[in-house]
Amino acid sequence: MVFWEGYATDEAMGTFAPIVVYWLYAGFYQLLPPLDKYRLHTRKEEEEKNSVPLASVVKGVLLQQLVQATVAQVLFLLTSTADISGTTIQPSIPVQIVQIIVAMLVMDTWQYFVHRFMHQNKFLYRHIHSQHHRLVVPYAIGALYNHPLEGLLLDTFGGAISFLISGMTARTAVIFFCFAVIKTVDDHCGLWLPGNIFHILFQNNSAYHDIHHQLQGTKYNYSQPFFPMWDKLLGTHMPYVLLKRPEGGFEARLKKD
56 vs 247: which has the higher pLDDT? 56
Whether the pLDDT of residue 1 is over 80: the answer is no
Whether the pLDDT of residue 86 is over 70: the answer is no
What pLDDT does 55 receive? 96
Whether the pLDDT of residue 250 is over 70: the answer is yes
- Of the pLDDT bands very low, low, confident and very high (cuts 50, 70, 90), residue 204 is very high
Give φ, ψ of 83 to 5 degrees: -80, -170
User: pLDDT (tens digit, 9 = 90+) per residue, 221-248?
Assistant: 999 999 999 999 999 999 999 999 988 8
Q: How far is CA 59 from the centre of its chain?
A: 17
Distances (CA, A) of 245 to 26, 35, 95, 143, 250: 25, 14, 46, 25, 5
User: pLDDT (tens digit, 9 = 90+) per residue, 58-78?
Assistant: 999 999 999 999 999 999 988
pLDDT average, residue stretch 86-107: 93
- Of the pLDDT bands very low, low, confident and very high (cuts 50, 70, 90), residue 163 is very high
Q: For residues 184 and 181, what is the distance between their CA atoms, to the nearest angstrom?
A: 5
Query: Which helix (H) or strand (E) element contains residue 254?
Result: strand 250-254
Per the CB < 8 A criterion, the answer to whether 64 and 155 are in contact is yes
Quote the pTM value. Answer: 0.93
pLDDT average, residue stretch 200-228: 93
Whether the pLDDT of residue 83 is over 80: the answer is no
- Of the pLDDT bands very low, low, confident and very high (cuts 50, 70, 90), residue 255 is confident
DSSP result, 71-128: HHHHHHHHH----TTS--PPPPHHHHHHHHHHHHHHHHHHHHHHHHHHHHSHHHHHHT
